[in-house]
Structure 1
Amino acid sequence: MVGCRPRQLRPSLTEDAMRWFGGCVTSTPGVPSYVPEQDVSLVWEDPFPLWMVGEWSPDEIVFARSRSREAVLVGVCSLTRGELVKWLDSACLGGLPPWPGIYTVVVRDACSITVWTDPTHAAPLYYTNIEGGVVWASSSRALAAIHGSGLDLNWLGAMVCEPPIPPSGQRSAFADVDCIPPGYRMMFTRGKKPMAQQWWFAPNAVSSSEAATGFRWSLEKSVLARTTTVERISCDLSGGLDSTTLCLLAAGLIEVDRRVTGLTVRPASTDSGGDLDHARTVAFYRHNIRHSILGLTGEALPYSELEEIPPCDEPAPSTITTARHRVAYERLVDEGSQRHLTGDGGDALLIPPSAYLYELAHRARFVRLARDVHGWAKLADASPWPRVRELFVTAPDKRASPPWASNRAQELALDYPAWGAPDTSMTNAYVISDVRSIARTANADTQIAHSFGIHLDAPFMDRTVMDAALRFRLNDRGSPWQYKPQITDAFSDILPRNVRQRHTKGGTDVDHHHGLRAHLGPVKSLMDGWLAGHSLIQPSPMYTALDRAAIGLPSPFGEFEPAIALEAWARAVTAALPVKWTRAFPAHKATP
């Protein structure tokens, strides 16, 4: 069991290391397009050029051509060129078939170019209006450089006021750069405004057995799409249900002579107990899981290396634990991993949001409501009455702003143009919203991991997996006495009994208390910085919360850590060199 090796310099997520793609649509023919100055691979020339920046492997790009259209699929998908051609030849291109994976589809014909966005928002797309046209891309930071735009203060205000779930809305983190809604197709035509149309809709609920069968099929296909495109695959193996299921699925789907590396991260001082014992049980359960246990020393505590946060499209979920992730990525590089699977998104997708209690009240199911409210209160060792009052007095989407949120931040947040709720049940609407927010921000983690040479992937964020999870009826989605029955029912034959019977997973609050105690001074100095300078936070209430957490008192980490991550990210983005653009006629066409 090897501990942290001597610290190495973090790979820099510079302009040259960024990986993204995009295109330009000018109002009239013969006008030069906006093109990044850095080296690009040109997929299509004018009209409607499409370029790719950075290193892309062949399995991440599928080309197709029919009589009057061309198409490119960018992302993780097991789709073949023949299947893409078949779809391209169909009379109607309204929506996308349920292909497993996370991807974007781009189609052009003689008159326009159309992009289909991923319904989970795991592959976000953005666009910005320019004089004489539109530029669209998978990186909002790259597009912001066209105008020299700074950060969008309304977006920042919403981030400060609405933790821990970041905002989902029409605008990106950068001024003058808009977000294409997830599950939409947007058509760009010369001389016309971009036209967006929804193509994905939430599915209807089905019986418990049908939902479990569909969920298993979808998650298996999603994992298979990852295992068939690379030779060496690794997976988080935390001992929890989500990562354990993915690891066992991957081990069962690969050829008999291949192995899956299961990565378990633990404190260097801990050699048994809790999550580690469950992870060892899983590794013992399958002979082709190579268990890699990574012991973390003090240098990888939370709040370490915040000054080394790279400039991404928005704050990465791993910001507070950036040192831990750096060490893990270095281990995965040593293990030779070509793709690493995480259980990210599993909690948001499978644990019922508090909104389900409002739905029970709305449906007048008061017996179930009373039972569940009492059960959740008992698990939290708290009185049920505050939750009862909340149910009948407060709207489910009404969160109180944290005490450090300034009046200006709250005013800016009110003007942030959020998307409307999906046309589905209240519970599903909240699940979809949470999954989309988490998937979108996780894209920043993917950008960081790629700078280490690691392809990070989250099968729970696949559109097909989200579809399958939304088909479970409210009664079949868990309760205070059932933890993620969607997984335990669908995969009862492959999960070890001790893992299947888990009702929760290990917490990390102790590590965060220790990390904050070790780095309290630098963190407090950090918070009297960019956000405070723009009157978005009040440092004094933040200092009080940090002091309480540093001495080990119960603390709202989910509220103040997003603000710390936001500060570190804002400093990194405003200090970074912008992507350089030029106006030119694209001339070098890549050969599909």
Structure 2
Amino acid sequence: MGATSACWFVVLLDRDLSPGLLDRLRNLAGPAVLRVVPHASGRPWLVGCWPDEELTACAVGDVRLAVAGTCSLKAAELAARARKIRDTAHIEPALSDAHGCFHVLASVAGHTYVRGSFSGQRRVYRAEAGGGTVCADQARILARLTAAELDTAQLALRLTGDTVPHPLAWGALWRGMHAVLPGTALELAPGGEMRTRRWWRPPADELPLDQAASGLREELERAVALRVRPDEVVGADLSGGMDSTSLCFLAAKAGARLVTVTMDAGAPTNEDRLYATRAAGSLSRIEHLVFESADVPAQFSGLDERVDLGDEPSPIVRTRVEQRYLAEQMRARGARLRLSGFGGDQVIQSQPSYVHGLLRRSPAAGLRHAAGWRARHRRPLGAITRALLDRGSYAAWLAEAAGLLRTPVAADDLRWGLRPYLPPWASEQTVQLCGERLLGAARDATEPLHPDRGRHAWLAAAQRGGRLAGPLAHCGQLARLPYHSPFCDDAVIAAALAARPHEAASPWSYKPLLAAAMHGLVPETILRRTTKDHFGYEWHNGLRRNRQTLAAWAEDSRLVAAGLADEDALRRALLSPQLLIGGIAEFETTLGVEAWLRGLEHQYTLDDTREMNSAPIAR
């Protein structure tokens, strides 16, 4: 379908819109067939390109109901739920026991309803086009539909990586475009009136560890079984860590035949292969593929490939070609999808800031946990004390963060979460733009995801996992092997959040909630593992192998052209990344933004004849 993604949809109001709107959507579809699902009135409701298995829709009277993505409800079940709907307030109760990761789309007596997932892996954007509000699951579809300019301030925020705070993390990268925040739905009346409805709320965090673990095990089993059919070949990552290994055992329990991949890192102390081999030895009907770094494309390969990199930059650019190669190996052995443990780190353990609330509810336990985290991360007593005594609001924290964008922060922040931090090569304009957005959110008295800062930090972390899982799923599309992250299913997130925070994470044990949930299924040697390895050798080797591309980027940076990076400082980083002290995550984030901007130049197509050399950037 030309420059657009292979799977997308837009949602149209039940009113007469510009007659040229459908023609523009057909241009976006290119050679692919444009699919249209009508409102009860006969006007177009859902328009786009998708395979049959991606979207299920039904019609019952004047109700139209659809789910897009991985959902437990099939066509007949969906129709049965649609019969319970009389107005938009009935939609979520009718779907309350559905599980998976999916959009919900409805048209009820002319009123349109659309939402994504709480995790943020499935998103919704809106913009004005054709005389009314148009929604889509992908921002770049709306950008091409409306010829929108890139938003420099949003690009600047992306240089802080995955620490962009709520709600700024969800902003679209084009002007005139608005994100529907995860956990809320958009309702549109035929006349164009608009309102949002909150449809997702976290459960109470009061279950003891054993009960919460039982609920998590049940939801993970459902999430995996939803994607796995007995005797079918399924690809899966088997890193040797607890998250991916748990999914492999759950898939085997569901009857899958597994093709698993393990990367054997070059570091002599790396233990991933050891633990992965132990796990594979306890699984039946498995083909376990182990790859050394010399077997696969080097990291940072393909930086200059002209591919659709999605709605926003992602550090996945580092391993994109490597992951495509691994997907090809799994697909060649019959795999029809790939399971990933991605999101487990963010979803199944609370963040250290839970100590703030624990200290007030149970001072003795709070002091003990604070001392444990201090010892584990070797933090100064003064820093711990100041964080725990702080009672500032979320808005005050955002305002403070605006003035500290160049000040590094410890990863285990005990306040409202990870404070945004810009790399040293960010320009003064970038600092100013980011600061303005943070101060704007503070002035608007932005509410946190939860009044309790520990709860907020856990919810934000779960959504961060979902936000980063989106590029993984897009990478799976490019590799023609669907990529699934069951830990990012909303029902799995809710099950994890039901645990008592000080039991779901601990300075003295590793992922205690997941370990308890997988007890009796995953070998204890895996559940007791406390190490987490890295690919430092592969990282540096990949940079050496691709230094010519990095040198070319240093001389012709799109970030520098946009005024977002200091030319000399960025050149030093790109030409000598091996000299970076810390800052590796910031370096990868910057490469992701640079690659995204370059990729956009080659795919920003508005119709069959007009190819733009670069996407316009709003100053």
1:279-302 CA-partner distances (Å, limit 9, x unpaired): 111111011222122333286232
How far does residue 42 in structure 1 lie from its aligned partner after superposition?
1.8
Find the aligned partners of 1:248 and 1:139 in 2 and give their Cα distance: 33
Residues 300-315 of structure 1: pairs in structure 2 closer than 5 A: 300-308=297-305, 310-311=307-308, 312-315=310-313
Q: Residue 150 and residue 458 in structure 1: after superposition, are their counterparts in 2 closer, same or farther (change >3 A)?
A: same
Could you tell me which runs of 5 or more consecutive residues in structure 1 were left unpaired when the two chains were aligned: 1-12, 583-592
Q: Residue 246 and residue 94 in structure 1: after superposition, are their counterparts in 2 closer, same or farther (change >3 A)?
A: closer
Corresponding residue SS for 1:120: coil
Cα contact 1:318–1:325 (8 A) shared by 2:
no
Say if 2:26 is the partner of 1:36.
yes
Q: Residue 141 and residue 366 in structure 1: after superposition, are their counterparts in 2 closer, same or farther (change >3 A)?
A: same
Find the aligned partners of 1:74 and 1:494 in 2 and give their Cα distance: 32
Cα contact 1:19–1:447 (8 A) shared by 2:
no
Could you tell me which runs of 5 or more consecutive residues in structure 2 were left unpaired when the two chains were aligned: 398-414, 610-619
Find the aligned partners of 1:29 and 1:509 in 2 and give their Cα distance: 54
How far does residue 304 in structure 1 lie from its aligned partner after superposition?
2.1
Q: Residue 166 and residue 386 in structure 1: after superposition, are their counterparts in 2 closer, same or farther (change >3 A)?
A: closer
Find the aligned partners of 1:174 and 1:547 in 2 and give their Cα distance: 31
Residues 44-443 of structure 1: pairs in structure 2 closer than 5 A: 44=38, 46-54=42-50, 56-58=51-53, 60-91=54-85, 92-95=90-93, 96-161=95-160, 163-164=162-163, 168-169=167-168, 171-208=171-208, 209-228=210-229, 231-254=232-255, 258-267=256-265, 274-297=271-294, 300-308=297-305, 310-311=307-308, 312-361=310-359, 363=360, 367-380=364-377, 385-389=382-386, 391=388, 395=397, 396-397=415-416, 398-416=419-437, 420-423=447-450, 425-443=452-470
Find the aligned partners of 1:245 and 1:48 in 2 and give their Cα distance: 43
Find the aligned partners of 1:224 and 1:17 in 2 and give their Cα distance: 28
How far does residue 369 in structure 1 lie from its aligned partner after superposition?
4.7
Aligned to 1:20: 8
Aligned to 1:538: 566
Q: Residue 454 and residue 373 in structure 1: after superposition, are their counterparts in 2 closer, same or farther (change >3 A)?
A: same
Which one of 544, 547, 550 corresponds to residue 523 of structure 1? 550
- The one-letter code of the counterpart of 2:459 is I
Identity of aligned residues (%): 24
Cα contact 2:202–2:494 (8 A) shared by 1:
yes
How far does residue 449 in structure 1 lie from its aligned partner after superposition?
1.7
Find the aligned partners of 2:223 and 2:162 in 1 and give their Cα distance: 30
Which one of 467, 476, 491 corresponds to residue 449 of structure 1? 476
1:491-532 CA-partner distances (Å, limit 9, x unpaired): 110111210101232122332233234434532542551111
Aligned to 2:604: 577
Q: Residue 165 and residue 456 in structure 1: after superposition, are their counterparts in 2 closer, same or farther (change >3 A)?
A: farther
Cα contact 1:526–1:568 (8 A) shared by 2:
no
- The one-letter code of the counterpart of 2:192 is K
1:95-126 CA-partner distances (Å, limit 9, x unpaired): 54132211111111331221132111111111
Stretch of structure 1 that moved more, 211-220 or 370-379: 370-379
Find the aligned partners of 2:356 and 2:138 in 1 and give their Cα distance: 37
Cα contact 2:8–2:48 (8 A) shared by 1:
yes
How far does residue 472 in structure 1 lie from its aligned partner after superposition?
0.8
How far does residue 378 in structure 1 lie from its aligned partner after superposition?
4.2
Find the aligned partners of 1:29 and 1:557 in 2 and give their Cα distance: 48
- The one-letter code of the counterpart of 2:422 is S
1:408-455 CA-partner distances (Å, limit 9, x unpaired): 112222344767422353222222223223323422231232122111
Corresponding residue SS for 2:492: helix
Q: Residue 504 and residue 271 in structure 1: after superposition, are their counterparts in 2 closer, same or farther (change >3 A)?
A: closer
Which one of 488, 499, 524 corresponds to residue 472 of structure 1? 499
- The one-letter code of the counterpart of 2:8 is W
Corresponding residue SS for 2:112: strand
Cα contact 2:550–2:575 (8 A) shared by 1:
no
Find the aligned partners of 2:130 and 2:73 in 1 and give their Cα distance: 37
Q: Residue 333 and residue 164 in structure 1: after superposition, are their counterparts in 2 closer, same or farther (change >3 A)?
A: farther
Cα contact 2:429–2:563 (8 A) shared by 1:
yes
How far does residue 133 in structure 1 lie from its aligned partner after superposition?
0.8
Corresponding residue SS for 2:304: helix
How far does residue 400 in structure 1 lie from its aligned partner after superposition?
4.1
Q: What is the TM-score of this pair, normalised by structure 1?
A: 0.87
How far does residue 308 in structure 1 lie from its aligned partner after superposition?
1.7
Q: Residue 581 and residue 222 in structure 1: after superposition, are their counterparts in 2 closer, same or farther (change >3 A)?
A: farther
Q: Residue 306 and residue 51 in structure 1: after superposition, are their counterparts in 2 closer, same or farther (change >3 A)?
A: same
Find the aligned partners of 1:525 and 1:503 in 2 and give their Cα distance: 41
Stretch of structure 1 that moved more, 504-513 or 480-489: 504-513
Q: Residue 176 and residue 40 in structure 1: after superposition, are their counterparts in 2 closer, same or farther (change >3 A)?
A: same
Find the aligned partners of 2:552 and 2:123 in 1 and give their Cα distance: 33
Stretch of structure 1 that moved more, 22-31 or 501-510: 22-31
Q: Larger relative CO (CA 8 A, sep 6+): 1 or 2? A: 1
How far does residue 356 in structure 1 lie from its aligned partner after superposition?
2.5
- The one-letter code of the counterpart of 1:529 is S
Corresponding residue SS for 2:317: coil
Q: Residue 357 and residue 534 in structure 1: after superposition, are their counterparts in 2 closer, same or farther (change >3 A)?
A: farther
Find the aligned partners of 2:585 and 2:269 in 1 and give their Cα distance: 28
How far does residue 200 in structure 1 lie from its aligned partner after superposition?
0.7
Stretch of structure 1 that moved more, 536-545 or 563-572: 536-545
Find the aligned partners of 2:387 and 2:572 in 1 and give their Cα distance: 26
Give the count of matched residue pairs. Answer: 562
Find the aligned partners of 1:305 and 1:534 in 2 and give their Cα distance: 23
- The one-letter code of the counterpart of 2:47 is W
- The one-letter code of the counterpart of 2:108 is D
Find the aligned partners of 1:226 and 1:138 in 2 and give their Cα distance: 21
Corresponding residue SS for 1:319: helix
Which one of 491, 495, 516 corresponds to residue 489 of structure 1? 516
Find the aligned partners of 2:21 and 2:75 in 1 and give their Cα distance: 29
Aligned to 1:588: none
- The one-letter code of the counterpart of 1:21 is F
Corresponding residue SS for 1:353: coil
Find the aligned partners of 1:282 and 1:247 in 2 and give their Cα distance: 9
Find the aligned partners of 1:315 and 1:574 in 2 and give their Cα distance: 14
Cα contact 1:105–1:116 (8 A) shared by 2:
yes
Cα contact 1:161–1:402 (8 A) shared by 2:
yes
Find the aligned partners of 1:322 and 1:384 in 2 and give their Cα distance: 41
Find the aligned partners of 2:542 and 2:450 in 1 and give their Cα distance: 42
Cα contact 2:158–2:313 (8 A) shared by 1:
no
Query: Over the residues paired in the alignment, what is the CA RMSD in angstroms?
Result: 2.9
Find the aligned partners of 1:330 and 1:489 in 2 and give their Cα distance: 34
Corresponding residue SS for 2:13: strand
Cα contact 2:230–2:254 (8 A) shared by 1:
no
Find the aligned partners of 1:479 and 1:217 in 2 and give their Cα distance: 23
Stretch of structure 1 that moved more, 352-361 or 319-328: 352-361
Find the aligned partners of 2:328 and 2:163 in 1 and give their Cα distance: 28
